[in-house]
Amino acid sequence: MSIAEDGTSGLKPAVNEPESALYDAEEARYARARRIEAVAKWALPIIVMTLAIWGWDRLVVINNIPKYILPSPGLVVETLIKDWGILYPSMLVTLKITLTALAVAVVGGVLLAVLFTQSKFAEMSFFPFAVIMQVTPIVSVAPLIFIYVTNGFVALILCAWIVAFFPILANTTLGLKSADHNLRDLMTIYRANRWQRLRYLQLPSALPYFLGGLRIAGGLSLIGAIVAEYVAGSTAAGSGLAFRILEASYRLNIPRMYAGLLLIALMGVAIFMITAGLNHFLLRKWHESALKRD
């Protein structure tokens, strides 16, 4: 065996070329799959939605359906633009009710969840009432609310709040109780008080659960606001989108009804995207649900 001038044997480690080529091919295949997935994530929903709208338009045109039965997508958009001066203020009213109810649900749900985790007697006393509020249909409760609450706007907020409150309460309570028991024991060993345990352990552990409840409550608050406006009818404070849809149905203005429904759908999508974005922003660096996986 020859010895190199630097004292080494001059031999190089053997490289298994077939295995290296196979590894490179696998890496290239994985990268290509990731690129396809990233494009499909946005392209597929757009394609499906475009095909659905095109099918709707062809259905109306081919069957010559009158606009007072089923308007075409183009007519709905045209009506939305033409009646924007009527629909936009109503949309703001509905949005104000929705966001106010959601904010009250978040504050009340989180505070009550903290109370439940700090006192078992409080949970045993009040949690059944929260369950009753959740399982009772808002359609049956809303007429009573409008009888006893003289302020129409407050009554609408109360109806939407009832629908949105329970997901925040239930998810946050579950999150506060789901802190790692080993970390609980560690904080007990270090003599952490109740406030320190809540601040440094339970609240961070509950954040993913709270954000999950927030995404649910966002859509439910909009549903609650719309249902409350339907029940209130012409007495609805400020005349939101639901009132405009009812008004259009009485006048057989079907394109305006569809335009109002389109605005409601867009509001719901916007609320979901905002809450989902908040979820990703707060959890992307540390929680398993938001971390990118290889």
Residues 252-271 pLDDT 10s: 899 999 999 999 999 999 99
Q: Give the C-alpha separation, 282 to 276, whole Å.
A: 10
Ramachandran bin of 65, using left for φ above 0, alpha for ψ from -120 to 50, beta for the remaining angles: beta
pLDDT at residue 110, rounded to an integer: 94
Give residue-wise pLDDT tens across range 73-116: 999 999 999 999 999 999 999 999 999 999 999 999 999 999 99
For 56-70, the pLDDT digits (tens) are 999 999 999 999 899
pLDDT of residue 220: 93
Decide if 263 contacts 80 (C-beta within 8 A).
Answer: yes
pTM of the entire predicted model? 0.83
Task: Name, of 20-24, 103-107, 144-148, the range with top average pLDDT.
Answer: 103-107
Task: Tell me which amino acid residue 185 is.
Answer: D
Cα–Cα distance measured from residue 118 to residue 194, given in angstroms and rounded to the nearest whole number: 8
* HSE, side-chain direction, 13 A CA sphere, residue 129: 7
Higher pLDDT, 181 or 25: 181
pLDDT computed for residue 11 by the predictor: 52
CA 261, CA 244: separation in Å to the nearest integer?
A: 10
pLDDT band at 163 (very low <50, low <70, confident <90, very high): very high
pLDDT tens readout for residues 191-245: 888 888 888 888 989 999 999 999 999 999 999 999 988 888 766 555 889 989 9
DSSP H stretches of helix in the chain: 17-63, 73-82, 84-118, 120-135, 138-148, 152-177, 181-189, 194-197, 203-232, 241-250, 254-283
Asked if 262 and 80 count as a contact pair (C-beta separation under 8 A), the reply is yes
Q: 76 versus 12: which is more confidently predicted?
A: 76
Average of per-residue pLDDT values in the chain = 86
pLDDT at 1: 45
Is the CA virtual torsion 250, 256, 258, 260 positive or negative?
negative
Residues with Cβ < 8 Å from 87, sequence gap 6 or more?
Answer: 80, 241, 244, 256, 259, 260, 263
**130 falls in which pLDDT band (50, 70, 90)?**
confident
Rounded Cα distance between 187 and 203, Å, is 14
